Amino acid sequence: MLDTLIDRIRAAHEKNTPLIIQGGGSKRFYGNADEGEVLSTRKLTGVIDYQPKELVLTARAGTPLAEIEALLDAQNQMLAFEPPHFVPLPNPLPLAGEGANDALCAPKPIYATLGGSIAAGLSGPRRPYAGAARDFVLGVRMIDGTGQPLRFGGQVIKNVAGYDVSRLMVGALGTLGLLTEVSLKVLPKPATEATLQFELDEAAAILKMNQWAGQPLPLSATSWHAGLLTVRLSGAASAVRVAQVRLGGEILNDAAVFWQRLRDLATPFFDKCPPTSNQILWRLAVKPTTPPLNLGDAQWIEWGGAVRWLARDLPVNILREAARNAGGHATLFRGGMPTAIHDGVFTPLAPAMLTLHRNLKQRFDPKGIFNHGRLYPDF
C-alpha cells in the first residue's frame, strides 16, 4: 500500500498532477476548495503498536478514529484532545429544547481517520484543560511532495533531537506531505465525570470560566449557549464530588451526548442537518477573557472563552477585526461561499509569515501537488 502511494506521488510530482489527500472524508468542508485527483488513505489502516504502560499508540493514517478509540477504551485510556469525528451519532438523542430533524438527514458513508484528525489539527471540548492534537503528537511517518518517505519524532514522550517537524504537520491540512503513520501520547480515562449547568448571562459565564480555570478544580470542558453555562468535571470520584458541591449548579444527565455533539458540532445550532449542511459557521479564536463580542445572539462559546462560534453571516472584515482586537483570528469554519472571501477561509498571514509558509511549502512539496490552496489560496 505504501509503495503504491509513493509511486503515485512520484508520478504526480513528475507530471505536476494536483492531488487531494482524503481519508474518511469527514472534514471535506474544512479549509478552502482544492482541486485534483483524490489520493485516498482509506486502505492504509491498522494499529501498529499500542503499549498502554508506555502511554503511546502508533497507527497508520487511514485507521478509523473510532477503531483507535475503542482499542484505547478497552484499556481505560483515551485520546485526551477529544478529536471531532463530524459523523452522525448512531442514535442521535435530541437535546432539551432542540430537535434535529433526523428524518431529513440521510446518513453519509464518512468517518474520521487518525491521519485526517492530525492533518486538520482540530481538538474537542477537553482541549483547554488537557491539550491540543499537536500536544499529543510524538512522531510521524510521511511522504513528501517528491515521493520521499520520511520519519520524524518517535515513540517517546521527551525528544528534542532535530526540528519538531512532526508537530509542524499538525494542522498543515496535508499541504506539506501525506501522513502515513502517527504516534500519539495517550492518557488514562478519568475515573469519574460529572457535568453541571448554571443559568448565567454571557459576560458572567466568561468570567466564571476564567476564574475557575485559575483555581485547582478538576475542569475538563466548558460551554456557554443561550444563557446556560455547562461545565464538565473529571477525576477521582471524591475530587469530582467535592468540586460539585463547591460549584453548585444543576447536574446534566446525558452529559456524554451533550459533549459529543459539541465536539462534533452536531447540534441544530451548528448544523440543522449534520454533518454536512452548508450552514454558515464562523469560528473566532480569541483571548479567553475577551468580553462579549456583541456580534449577535447566534453564538456558542467553548474552550473556557477562547472560542466563540457564530452561526450567522457577517462581513468578513468585521469578524477578522473583532478577532484581531481580541488577540486571535477568525475562520470561516463551514458553509462558506468561497467567492465572497478572496483571501480564503483562514485569517491571512502577515507578509513575513507568509514568506516563511511559502518557503516551507516549497521545501516539502516543491511542485505544489498536495492539497493546493486548501490552507491558503496561493499554495
Nearest to 79, CA basis, from 31, 45, 113, 111:
113
Supply the minimum distance, in Å, between the C-beta of residue 21 and other proteins. 16
The answer to whether residue 193 forms part of the interface with other proteins (CB under 8 A) is no
Rg (CA), the chain: 21
What are 7-15's contacts with CB under 8 Å, separation 24+?
7/147, 8/39, 9/39, 9/143, 9/145, 9/146, 9/147, 9/178, 9/369, 10/146, 10/147, 12/37, 12/39, 12/369, 13/145, 13/146, 13/147, 13/366, 13/367, 13/369
Q: Are strands 219-225 and 228-235 parallel, antiparallel or unpaired?
A: antiparallel
- Rule CB under 8 A: choose which of 8, 28, 241, 272 binds other proteins: 241
The answer to whether residue 343 forms part of the interface with other proteins (CB under 8 A) is no
The answer to whether residue 203 forms part of the interface with other proteins (CB under 8 A) is no
The answer to whether residue 127 forms part of the interface with other proteins (CB under 8 A) is yes
Supply the minimum distance, in Å, between the C-beta of residue 211 and other proteins. 7
Beta carbons within 8 Å of 53's beta carbon, 6+ residues apart: none
Measured from the CB atom, the residue of 5 and 172 that comes closer to other proteins is: 172
Q: Which stretch binds other proteins (CB under 8 A): 4-12, 89-97, 125-133, 221-229?
A: 125-133
The answer to whether residue 215 forms part of the interface with other proteins (CB under 8 A) is yes
d(CA 152, CA 182): 10
Measured from the CB atom, the residue of 44 and 209 that comes closer to other proteins is: 209
d(CA 116, CA 59): 12
Measured from the CB atom, the residue of 100 and 119 that comes closer to other proteins is: 119
The answer to whether residue 15 forms part of the interface with other proteins (CB under 8 A) is no
Nearest to 10, CA basis, from 142, 173, 144:
144
Looking only at residues 87 through 116 of this chain, which bind other proteins when binding is defined by CB under 8 A? none
Looking only at residues 266 through 285 of this chain, which bind other proteins when binding is defined by CB under 8 A? 285
d(CA 144, CA 370): 9
Nearest to 137, CA basis, from 83, 191, 176, 70:
83
Looking only at residues 131 through 190 of this chain, which bind other proteins when binding is defined by CB under 8 A? 131-132, 134-135, 144, 148-152, 154-165, 167-168, 170-172, 176, 187-189
Cβ count within 10 A of residue 43: 10
**Residue 158 cell numbers, joined:** 521527551
Yes or no: say if 296 and 312 are a contact pair by the CB < 8 Å rule.
yes
- Rule CB under 8 A: choose which of 19, 21, 56, 262 binds other proteins: 56
Measured from the CB atom, the residue of 148 and 277 that comes closer to other proteins is: 148
The answer to whether residue 200 forms part of the interface with other proteins (CB under 8 A) is no
Measured from the CB atom, the residue of 42 and 189 that comes closer to other proteins is: 189
- Rule CB under 8 A: choose which of 326, 365, 370, 371 binds other proteins: 326
Looking only at residues 248 through 267 of this chain, which bind other proteins when binding is defined by CB under 8 A? none
Supply the minimum distance, in Å, between the C-beta of residue 236 and other proteins. 4
**Residue 290 cell numbers, joined:** 475577551
Number of residues that bind other proteins (CB under 8 A): 87
